Structure 1
Amino acid sequence: MINILTVTLPIFLLIGVGYVAAYFKIVGAADIASIGRFVLNITMPALIIVAFQSHPIGQILNWTYLMAYGIGAVATFGLTTLCGVYLLKKDLSTSAIYGMGTSVSNSAYIGYPVVSAIIGPIGAICMALNFLVENIIIIPMALILADAGSGKGQRVSVLIRQILYKLTKNPIIIGIVIGLAISLSGMTLPAPVNKALSLLAGVSSPTALFVIGGSLLGLRLKGMRGDIALVFIFKLVVHPLMALLSVMVLFPGIEREFAIGAVLFASVPMMSVYPIFAEAYQLGQRAAAAVFVATMLSFFTIPIAVMVVHFLLPLGG
């Protein structure tokens, strides 16, 4: 039996350390932002490269996982967008941004520490595959629909080109490409290089959790109404349910570790930069409130998700 608190409590303690450090001004907002860039631009790519070179290319390019996680994310996005339009009577632009919030997880900062504690190094592979789903499918789809809904449909082709150009400069995507190349070639990195990358990879999780805690200090619950509830409820409940249905019904043959990874990554709060995307459509405050509430509630919902996967998808099964 997995001791749920042993897995989750250290994660939230580290988030608490970041919050306390920011509260007592040991670190400022600029420091938190710089540390966040360090995580995303340096330690996470290093983590992916280290993980990829340790696994055969067939295990890394796990198309079953990509489809299982991708279908769960797209289904959540679609359900959220439809509920926004037809239930909350929001315009397509607002509903699409809500859909983004419910279907793109904080895979790097919260998801990876949780998942790697349960399934080990395969968690880094799942995380990298999630980045492909999120950056190539979900985020572009949400932005295209949001632009179309705001009357800027003529800019869709320009938007697609901008997204593709940014992907080529994304350090995470670059790390994935390098890792895939190393795995495909069968080469082994020189010992000093491998050691340096491993040291960077080792600080990725705790540093990421510290950043989340520090980032929570400035968030407020202004504008907390039914539409915000839609976002964090769909993120913490519907998204993991869609992932669970996907791995158990559509892809029952998926390897157990990857099935667990899909469900647990879906169960964590939305990406921390979600309010930045939402701000372009005058939804920044509501998105920030959703991030705040989802992150706080995840202290309770993530342990539940861990218990569910332990019961339905036991590693020994």
Structure 2
Amino acid sequence: MLTILAAIAPNFLLILLGWLLRARHVLDGPFWLQTEKLTYFVLFPALLVTNLAEARLDGLPVAAILGAHGLGITLVLGLLVLPLRFLSPRLRADGPAFTSVLQGAVRPNTYVGFAIAAAIWGPHGVTVTALASSLVIPLVNLYCVTALIRWGSGGGKRGLGATVLAIAKNPLILACVIGAALNVSGIGLPPIVGPLLKILAQASLALGLLCVGAGLEFSALRGAHGPVAAVLGLKLAVMPLAVGALAWSFGLTGTTLAVTVTYAALPVAANAYILARQLGGDHALTAAIITASTMAAAVSLPVVTLLIGYLP
């Protein structure tokens, strides 16, 4: 347990540092806005490309890893999240709030995932995380944008064609496609460009975690207890259980199983807030969900990681 805590704690201390730097006005809003853009559009895509392009997939159960995540997300969404739209009085009357719950239930913070995988499991953990993200990022964006078009207050005004184009131009999706293409083609990372991408990738996790902390909004938690509690249960407990059960049934074991389940147990990604603002979701509720899940994950992730260690 102490080993796991020692590996995970620095990542959450970086998140805390990001919050302190903004709360104490050491670095103010404009800095964080530009840093988030840099991380989202440049640094994190560089991390995805480099890891996917150089991932050694020989002997790796690719179909089982992708199947566990894809099927797990789809089942949780279809069997548990969508019924909330009709069973919860608040969510039945408030479509934008429902889209925030949906995003919170399925959207993982991959910055945290990569940092923890690297700290605990090293290169193999990073490879499995990159592989999982290559499916989860496009799939989750597809589900979330579709929900915002259907239930958001302004998503429908954007138009289906423009929304599909926005998904296709998403920098994280493009990075996954490019990295996978470089891997499958056997090209790998080209000279000059490859080392440049690696340098950029090294900066992505620290800056990404600092931005996660800077984006925490504790004031948003007031009055949002019901939806926030629902998301915490779905994202931090039900999702890892569903993905873990599927992964185990597909034959995953050891480190590969541990990384797969941990990726499913990550807190909610900060870009859920950006999407909520762009497409008419309840961005205040989304901020509360991101904040609460990040705080709760500081406790739940070590527990999940420890419990996985007892699996055969």
TM-score range, shorter chain: 0.7 to 0.9
Closer/same/farther in 2, CA of residues 59 and 217 from structure 1, 3 Å limit: farther
Query: Following the alignment from structure 1 to structure 2, what is the Cα–Cα distance between the partners of residues 97 and 217?
Result: 15
2:108 equivalent to 1:105: yes
What residue number does 1:193 align with?
193
What residue number does 2:288 align with?
289
Deviation at 1:84, TM superposition (A): 4.2
Is the 1:268–1:298 contact (alpha carbons within 8 Å) kept by the matching residues of 2?
yes
Q: After superposing the two structures, state which structure 1 stretch, 232-241 or 181-190, moved more.
A: 181-190
Deviation at 1:300, TM superposition (A): 0.6
What residue number does 2:273 align with?
275
What residue number does 2:264 align with?
266
Query: Following the alignment from structure 2 to structure 1, what is the Cα–Cα distance between the partners of residues 9 and 174?
Result: 32
Query: Following the alignment from structure 2 to structure 1, what is the Cα–Cα distance between the partners of residues 60 and 30?
Result: 36
What residue number does 1:226 align with?
226
SS of 2:274's partner is: helix
What residue number does 1:144 align with?
146
Is the 1:222–1:285 contact (alpha carbons within 8 Å) kept by the matching residues of 2?
no
Closer/same/farther in 2, CA of residues 139 and 118 from structure 1, 3 Å limit: same
Query: Following the alignment from structure 1 to structure 2, what is the Cα–Cα distance between the partners of residues 60 and 180?
Result: 15
SS of 1:312's partner is: coil
Is the 1:96–1:142 contact (alpha carbons within 8 Å) kept by the matching residues of 2?
yes
Query: Following the alignment from structure 1 to structure 2, what is the Cα–Cα distance between the partners of residues 259 and 88?
Result: 38
Is the 1:84–1:227 contact (alpha carbons within 8 Å) kept by the matching residues of 2?
no
Is the 2:243–2:264 contact (alpha carbons within 8 Å) kept by the matching residues of 1?
yes
SS of 2:194's partner is: helix
Once the two structures are superposed, the pairs formed by residues 22-171 of structure 1 within 5 Å of their partners are 22-56=22-56, 62-78=62-78, 79-88=80-89, 90-91=91-92, 93=95, 94-107=97-110, 109-149=111-151, 158-159=159-160, 161-171=161-171
What residue number does 1:244 align with?
244
Deviation at 1:282, TM superposition (A): 5.1
State the TM-score, normalizing by the size of structure 1: 0.84
Structure 1: unaligned runs, 5 residues or longer? none
Deviation at 1:210, TM superposition (A): 0.9
Deviation at 1:281, TM superposition (A): 4.1
Deviation at 1:116, TM superposition (A): 2.2
Q: What amino acid sits opposite 1:270 in the alignment? A: V
SS of 2:108's partner is: coil
Aligned length: 308
Q: Render the CA deviation track for 1:214-266: whole Å, top value 9, x for unaligned.
A: 111575313223122111221111111111111113x1x23643322221111
SS of 2:245's partner is: helix
Deviation at 1:58, TM superposition (A): 5.4
Q: Render the CA deviation track for 1:24-49: whole Å, top value 9, x for unaligned.
A: 21211221121122222222222222
Closer/same/farther in 2, CA of residues 30 and 16 from structure 1, 3 Å limit: same
Q: What amino acid sits opposite 1:119 in the alignment? A: W
Q: Render the CA deviation track for 1:133-155: whole Å, top value 9, x for unaligned.
A: 444433333443454456999x5
Closer/same/farther in 2, CA of residues 305 and 197 from structure 1, 3 Å limit: same
Query: Following the alignment from structure 1 to structure 2, what is the Cα–Cα distance between the partners of residues 231 and 140?
Result: 19
Query: Following the alignment from structure 1 to structure 2, what is the Cα–Cα distance between the partners of residues 48 and 80?
Result: 29
What residue number does 1:312 align with?
311
Q: What amino acid sits opposite 1:234 in the alignment? A: L
Deviation at 1:209, TM superposition (A): 0.9
Structure 2: unaligned runs, 5 residues or longer? none
Closer/same/farther in 2, CA of residues 193 and 148 from structure 1, 3 Å limit: closer
RMSD: 3.0
Query: Following the alignment from structure 1 to structure 2, what is the Cα–Cα distance between the partners of residues 201 and 116?
Result: 13
Closer/same/farther in 2, CA of residues 60 and 175 from structure 1, 3 Å limit: farther
